[in-house]
Amino acid sequence: MSKQKSQSLAFIALLVGNLALACGPFLVRTSGVGPVAAGFWRLALALPFLWAIAWMFRQPVHWPRAKLTIAVLAAAFFFAADLAAWHAGILLTKLGNATLFGNISSFFFAAWGLWLARKWPTSIQALALSLAALGCGLLMWGSAELSAENLRGDLLAALAGLLYTGYLILVERTRGELQPLPLLFLASLFGAAMLLPAAITAGEQIFPENWAGLFALALCSQVIGQGLLVYALGHVPPLVVGVAMLTQPALSALLGWIYYGETLTGRDFAGAAMIVAALILVRLKQKGGAALHEPAVAPN
């Protein structure tokens, strides 16, 4: 497969993965268990599917060398802490709020990519980031209610976004040495082992009355969403990943509007349009220069 075709396929995977991840807040609300327990089941129920898919794609799960195992453990810790904080925040605020604040990692991850490249953003990159920031601002203004009632949920979601940045950085670095499916399986395994005792200690309901919501959460968010995201991280640079992740708040706000009557205004639609425009811009080539979607690490 040519390099350009591989990158285009990874970009499509990135978009589909973000679409699946945007359904996460809605599925957490319908899981029927506590927020930390929902994170545990999201990871645990995904494990047999990830193992089977890894076998099908000839990426057998194996125990990596010691240094790499420590990196995966660290990534799993950040991811488990992110899920615990984010799921708790989802239950305390609107879907649009939770996804918006949970995705502040988009800006930090994009900034980390530029720092890694040791250069200032180009004019097109700066315009894309500015449009994305303005779009998020409009979404926050239109759908996020910064009030005492949901302040705790907003803060938990923002904390989750910071933790998710650490996870993305570690996964992006690890993807240079470990194939995506074994990496995701191990991170999910370690993360589940961390979340179960935390859920029990918190006194949460562990087992649901209906398993459909938890299986949907595991398949949609972990197998499809995280699976495609981890794959894309080996081919797409942090800037593009960061901007693409900003599509999630718009999609989650739409679900909140459909299922919970969380109102969408003209500002919300304008904000979503700006994020889409930013996504298009980061796919363009600089005049006389390289494409903005060169991979940050060598793909496997």
Collect all residues with Cβ–Cβ distance below 8 Å to 260 and sequence separation of at least 6.
94, 95
203: region left, alpha or beta (phi > 0 left; psi from -120 to 50 alpha): left
Sign, CA dihedral 183-189-194-200, equals positive
For the chain, what is the radius of gyration of the CA atoms? 18
- In this prediction, residue 141 carries a pLDDT of 64
Sign, CA dihedral 234-240-242-245, equals negative
| Spatial distance between the Cα atoms of 296 and 235, rounded to a whole number of angstroms | 7
| Spatial distance between the Cα atoms of 136 and 101, rounded to a whole number of angstroms | 9
| Spatial distance between the Cα atoms of 249 and 46, rounded to a whole number of angstroms | 24
- The residue type of 114 is L
299 in a structural domain? no
Q: In 3-state terms, what secondary structure has residue 291? A: strand
- In this prediction, residue 295 carries a pLDDT of 39
Distances (CA, A) of 32 to 61, 168, 206, 207, 262: 31, 28, 9, 8, 21
296 in a structural domain? no
Count helices and strands (H / E) in the chain.
15, 0
Question: Which structural domain range is residue 109 located in?
Answer: 3-281
Q: In 3-state terms, what secondary structure has residue 285? A: strand
User: Can you give the pTM of this predicted structure?
Assistant: 0.76
> What are the pLDDT tens digits along the chain (300 aa)?
566 677 788 888 888 888 888 888 889 999 999 999 999 999 999 999 999 999 998 998 888 888 899 999 999 999 999 999 999 999 887 777 777 777 777 667 667 766 766 667 778 778 877 887 787 677 656 544 456 666 788 789 889 988 988 888 888 788 777 888 899 999 999 999 999 999 999 999 999 999 999 999 999 999 998 888 878 876 777 667 767 776 776 777 777 777 767 666 677 678 767 877 776 676 554 433 344 434 333 323
| Spatial distance between the Cα atoms of 191 and 264, rounded to a whole number of angstroms | 35
What tokens does 11 get?
A: 């970009």
User: In residues, how long is the chain?
Assistant: 300
Number of domains in the chain: 1
294 in a structural domain? no
- In this prediction, residue 214 carries a pLDDT of 95
Sign, CA dihedral 166-168-170-172, equals negative
288 in a structural domain? no
* Contact criterion met (CB below 8 Å) for 146 and 94: no
- In this prediction, residue 299 carries a pLDDT of 29
84 in a structural domain? yes
| Spatial distance between the Cα atoms of 266 and 143, rounded to a whole number of angstroms | 10
- In this prediction, residue 292 carries a pLDDT of 41
291 in a structural domain? no
263 in a structural domain? yes
First to last CA, the chain: 12
- In this prediction, residue 140 carries a pLDDT of 59
Sign, CA dihedral 151-157-159-161, equals negative
| Spatial distance between the Cα atoms of 242 and 269, rounded to a whole number of angstroms | 20
- The residue type of 77 is F
- In this prediction, residue 300 carries a pLDDT of 32
69 in a structural domain? yes
- The residue type of 251 is L
